[in-house]
Amino acid sequence: MEGLEKGLEELRQTFGSGKTRDAAWRKSQLRGLLRLLNEEEEDIFRVLREDLGKHRVEAYRDEVGVLKKSVNFALENLDGWMAAKKVKLPWLVWPSKGEVVAEPLGLMLIFSSWNFPIGLTLECLVGAISAGNVVVLKPSEKSPASSLFLANCIPMYIDSKAVKIYEGGSSVAEKLLEYKWDKIFFTGIARVGRIVMTAAAKHLTPVTLELGGKCPGIVDSRLSLHDKKVTAQRIVAGKWGSCCGQACIGIDYLLVEEKYASEMVDLLIRTIKKFFAKNHLSRIVNKQQFHRLSNLFNDPSVAASIVHGGSRNIKELVIEPTIMLNPPLDAEIMTEEIFGPLLPIITRRIVAETSSGSITFNDAVVQYALDALPFGGVGGSGFGKYHGKYSFDTFSNDKAVLRRGFFVEISFRYPPWDDLKLQFIRACYDFDYIGLLRLILGL
């Protein structure tokens, strides 16, 4: 990659100069991002339409609007995030003061995904800049219009000596992974996540992984008719409303009581026809993804379970919202993340304890847009959190700072040891005011 060595060296020099640690610099870069979002809004709509067929309303709701909110949230709270946090210390080290200071990690490498190619890329950048780092962005080659837009526009609004973009496919990613970074942030599939972790391990580089998973929606049959209709609307929006189901937090399948299944299916079909009558549906990203999804329901046993939809148009890269009722649990559609507009409904009695990166009651997907809540996976769906203060923390190192005084030096800290010193140390650690006073007074 031409100029990579020189570019990385410039980033390291920028970080070494200390200017990214200054709050004023960080705020100026965040304001630059706001200007980009405001001044280039129409171009953002255009590239998202080219890459994914997103309607401008969807593009604003899921990418531009979410980003503006995130940037403003960071600007409002940055001073507080950067401020040293005082901590309580045991009497054993009195007189002392302790605090935790968030310091930038250094040189960040961010791999972004194709399904929200503007939103996810810049959401990570907000956190990295807020924390005072320098950054290399690697947009997904599967969303080429968005990637080119970012490569052309970001240098116009952000300090190009602190943020650089490298476009390209897997060969570019592999080359970037050969270098030592202070943190790698990856959004994508688990298979590639393992490759990233393997490369990072060679340099003991910390990694945040945002991967996929099987995200169920669980429907309560005890709802009123009004609430059932609202539930159907939220399910349809949570499944097909964001990038045609090509979202890691989109509903992957529904768990419904058997007696309620036919009513739920009917409500979903009516809602789909209402919401997408004018085909306000994003398209499948490319032919490879189209064929993968098609293969999921070409399986005869899965095809037999289709109760709505199933039509496909490879020329337009469109798959109709499709509902299946009780496909085989061992079929690929139920063992792998779907990441598309196919919704299996399973009628079983499910009683289990679950672990997940997040859980939302009475809705779906909306938790992603809330800066006050951490966003991230657990186990096979990834690890590490971001959004709001959690983004700042992800790209920061919490450094412990202890300042000791010289007013008094407590001899009980030093040998030789005896039971009196043990009692004194125990009282200090336990914050036992009375016990400590008695020891001092010799009682």
Exposed, middle or buried: residue 238 (CB in 10 Å: 0-12, 13-18, 19+)?
buried
Work out the angle at residue 81's Cα, subtended by the Cα atoms of residues 166 and 88, and round it to the nearest 5 degrees.
135
Q: How many CA atoms lie within 13 A of 187 on its CB side?
A: 27
123 is catalytic: no
Which of the following is catalytic: 215, 243, 248, 428? 248
Give whole-number Cα distances, 174 to 10, 200, 376, in Å.
21, 11, 24
Which of the following is catalytic: 63, 210, 215, 337? 210
**3-state secondary structure labels for all residues of the chain:** CCCHHHHHHHHHHHHHHCHHHCHHHHHHHHHHHHHHHHHCHHHHHHHHHHHHCCCHHHHHHHHHHHHHHHHHHHHHHHHHHHCCEEECCCHHHCCEEEEEEEEECCEEEEECCCCCCCHHHHHHHHHHHHCCCEEEEECCCCCHHHHHHHHHHHHHHCCCCCEEECCCCHHHHHHHCCCCCCEEEEECCHHHHHHHHHHHHCCCCCEEEECCCCCEEECCCCCCHHHHHHHHHHHHHHHHCCHHHCCCCCCCEEEECHHHHHHHHHHHHHHHHHHCCCCCCCCCCCHHHHHHHHHHHHCHHHHCCEEECCCEECCCCEECCEEEECCCCCCHHHHCCCCCCEEEEEECCCCCCCCCCCCCCCCCCHHHHCCCCCECCCHHHEECCECCHHHHHHCEEEEEEEEECCCCCCHHHCCCCCHHHHHHHHHHHCCCHHHHHHHHHCC
167 is catalytic: no
Q: What gap in Å lies between CA 226 and CA 382, rounded to an integer?
A: 37
Candidates 351, 371, 367; CA nearest to 67 is 371
Active site residues: 210, 248
